[in-house]
Chain A
Amino acid sequence: MIRALDLANLPDADVVALALQGRDAAHRELIRRYERPVFSLVFRMVRDRELAEDLTQDTFVKVLSHLDRYRSDFKFSSWLFKIANNVAIDHLRRRQLDTVSMDGSPHAMTAEAVESTRFDVADVAENALEEIEAKELGSAIERAIASLRPEYRSCIMLRHVEGRSYEEIASTLDLPLGTVKTYIHRARHELRRALEHTRE
């Protein structure tokens, strides 16, 4: 019988191999290792805890149901984050929630249109769950991240929260290296501008 302590010391590729042998404990070890970073990435993408739970669950179900497709010459975490990012992006595209702009829609052309699409946090009736979300995601940097395009958001999260290299991010998101660098540069620029506004 495989002990939990033994599994915790194994590299991802070995745990995956054990999972492919039908070891329930190995499946759970993979979930245990990555549930927090995957959930964090998805939560910051969709900004809804309950939805993020569902999408995280979908991500792990997809990954663990198709472990036979994993190739050990790539990092398991990169493959997992790729699927998580795709799940979140697909949802955002379906729901057309590309940005949460609290200063009005970026497509608004007149002052009236801006005013009508402004999102005022104070006016939204918050239940207990929304209050928790607001606290979790209420810091200036979190609100600034929310205003980024999803592609920028993915790149900046993988770079600075998950500590991935530019090359890993390019591999994970199937983007050219130059595009990743551009996205991260633009994301940093936008975040800097957003944080300057909050400091003023």
Chain B
Amino acid sequence: MNHRHLLPNEIDLLVDGEAGFGVAPLRAHILECPDCRERLEDARIVVDALEALPHFVPDARLADRVMAQVPVFVPAHVAARDSVRRWLPQSAAARIAALVAAGSGALALTLGMIWVALQGDLFTFATGMLGERVRLAVVGAARDLAVAMLGDAALAALQGLGAMGAALLFLSFLLAAAGTIAGLRRLALAGRRA
């Protein structure tokens, strides 16, 4: 029979709950030796006290303070994927409904474009007629304005000049207007400085 007491590392093996070859004789010795049993018990008291130690709680703002100092880099492909996902509905049912709606809209638009293409002549005629009506309306309004400002005689003289003469006259009018505005502005600035 082995009368030697357990070595400190053998006590540690038992405290750590080690199993395996060589531990059984140690357990058998503990049953027979009060001194070693007491040493083992003392070691277990220490371990139990350690294992009962609580975790301390840090300040609740720790995460915010840490994240304020950590640069978070979002890769471009992740940012793009997130942007698309933000527009997608969250639930599966909503996503299916959105898909059906988008598909229906795309189909309607396609059919509409096909119809327009098939009705090409009608479309061209309609836009041409509309354009002519708009042109006539604009020319009529301009003529009425010119008569109101210049009178019938002046208008007749203007029409005699032809397109080039009318353009020169209009350009002269623009230059006179610009010069008037510049002069008035200079007067205003001079008045402020004074």
Contacts and interface: CB of A to CB of B under 8 A. Distances in A.
Interface string B10-43: 0010010000000000000000000000000011
Contact of B9 (A32, A37, A61, A181): A181
Interface stretch (B61-69, B104-112, B115-123, B179-187): B61-69
A10 interface: no
B145 to A, nearest CB: 61
A156 interface: yes
B66 A160 contact: no
Given A160-B47, A188-B46, A36 B55 contact: yes
A73 B115 CA distance: 63
Contacts of A192: 42-43, 45-46
Interface residues of A, number: 38
Interface in B55-88: 55-59, 62-63, 65-67, 69-75, 78-79, 82, 85
B60 to A, nearest CB: 10
A21 B75 contact: yes
Name B's interface SS.
helix
A191 interface: yes
Interface in A138-181: 141-142, 156, 159-161, 181
A35 interface: yes
A45 B75 CA distance: 38
A65 B73 CA distance: 10
Given A21-B78, A160-B50, A192-B42, A185 B8 contact: yes
Nearest to A65: B70
B49 interface: yes
B75 A27 contact: no
B51 A31 contact: no
Contacts, number: 103
Given A56-B62, A185-B12, A39 B57 contact: yes
Interface in A30-69: 31-32, 35-37, 39-40, 43, 52-53, 56-57, 60-61, 64-65
B12 A24 contact: no
Given A24-B72, A141-B53, A36 B12 contact: no
A184 interface: yes
Residue among B8, B49, B56 with the most chain A CB within 10 A? B56
Q: Interface range on chain B: under 10, 10 to 19, 20 to 34, or 35 or more?
A: 35 or more
A131 interface: no
B75 A22 contact: yes
A181 B12 contact: yes
Contact of A39 (B15, B58, B67): B58
Contacts of B51: 160-161
A156 to B, nearest CB: 7
Interface string A120-136: 00000000000000001
A28 interface: yes
A24 B75 CA distance: 13
A60 B75 contact: no
A5 interface: no
B72 A27 contact: yes
A60 B59 CA distance: 14
A24 B67 contact: yes
Interface of A: 1, 21-22, 24, 27-28, 31-32, 35-37, 39-40, 43, 52-53, 56-57, 60-61, 64-65, 136, 141-142, 156, 159-161, 181, 184-185, 188-189, 191-192, 195-196
